[in-house]
Amino acid sequence: MEIEDIRRVLIVGAGTMGRQIGLQCAIHSYDVILYDIAPDKLEAAKTQIKSYADRFVSFGLLTQEQVDATMNRITMTKDPKEAATEADLLSESVPENPRLKGKVFAQFNELCPPHTIFTTNTSDLIPSMFAQNTGRPAQFAALHFHMYVWDTKLVDIMPHPGTSKETVELLKAFAKRIGQIAIVLEKENYGYVFNAMLTSLNRAALTLVVNGVASFEDVDRAWMLATKMTIGPFGSLDLVGLDSCWHIADYWGKRLGDRQLGSIADFLKKEYVDKGWLGMKSERGFYTYPNPAYQQPEFLTIE
């Protein structure tokens, strides 16, 4: 395949990242089909994508005419066969569970055309964990985006040992076409580049809170004051989604027999996930939204 052969992008998983990746592709003139098994997730995706697009107009980044054309290029479906038809590139953003991802890839291998390139947006797993499930390992690699896709403009391309050089080059060209700066990893690495560093920070921050050393607000204050950053670890966790954070901590805690990660997973599930407090997307996590405390002037001022 050549870059010109990619015309239709299939997004599997209509969560936060799937919505952003789909919108970014549609803005850059690709036809996008967003698939999810849950009708309510698709309805929420439609609303949020429209909200994102409206902000582009209000900020003067796109005209209303451009936004209308973008929205017309996005189709949503809960029918996997309809989703797979004529897909040239598949981007997967389902929960961080290797068995689930493997099952999804195997399903779409049966439904997608032979030429379709498969990619995963996994945050903390590696593509070789489910490459064989794709049925097309040479046409498969991680293509990992960062929030917000249009602001960070950073995408990681992580091939596994069986990924063809042609696939890597095609993904580099695709990333450029949708306004992203691609980092190509020389070898598989859990967490890519930025996430590998961020994961260590998040673990340290959560450990301080779970072990009763400091409140999450004070952990964020310490980070923000010392680094001059506008957001701390817990604000960032809210942005990612606490359900995703829990999945990651739970999976690695069990796989590695790591008691501290297990305690972090239990804390996230009991205190936040089970209550539906998933972060920014549910308007409540460690902070409440749309006006979280860490964005207020008094958060970092002397009383």
pLDDT in tens, 193-207: 999 999 899 999 999
Question: What CATH number does the domain containing 33 carry?
Answer: 3.40.50.720
- Would you say the C-alpha torsion 13, 15, 18, 23 has a positive or negative sign? positive
pLDDT at 31: 98
Shared-domain flag, residues 98 and 144: yes
Task: Output the pTM of the full model.
Answer: 0.86
Q: Is 121 in contact with 93 (CB distance < 8 Å)?
A: yes
Question: What percent of the chain has a predicted confidence (pLDDT) above 70?
Answer: 100
Q: Is the pLDDT of residue 302 over 90?
A: no
Q: Is the pLDDT of residue 113 over 80?
A: yes
Pairwise CA distance, residues 97 & 13, whole Å: 13
Tell me if 131 is assigned to some domain. yes
Smallest Cα–Cα separation from 234: which of 259, 204, 254, 258?
204
Shared-domain flag, residues 233 and 260: yes
- What's the start-to-end Cα distance of the chain, in Å? 62
The set of residues, in sequence order, having a beta carbon less than 8 Å from that of 247 and lying 6+ positions away, is 95, 96, 97
Domain boundary among the residues 184, 209, 239 is at 184
Write out the two tokens for 294: 């860490």
The beta strand positions in 138-186, using DSSP E, are: 140-145, 154-159, 181-184
pLDDT at 124: 86
Domain boundary among the residues 160, 184, 208 is at 184
Q: How many domains does the chain have?
A: 2
State which residues form the domain around 50. 3-184
Residue-wise pLDDT for 224-254, tens only, equals 999 999 999 999 999 989 998 999 899 999 9
**Helix H or strand E encompassing 243:** helix 242-256
Shared-domain flag, residues 150 and 198: no
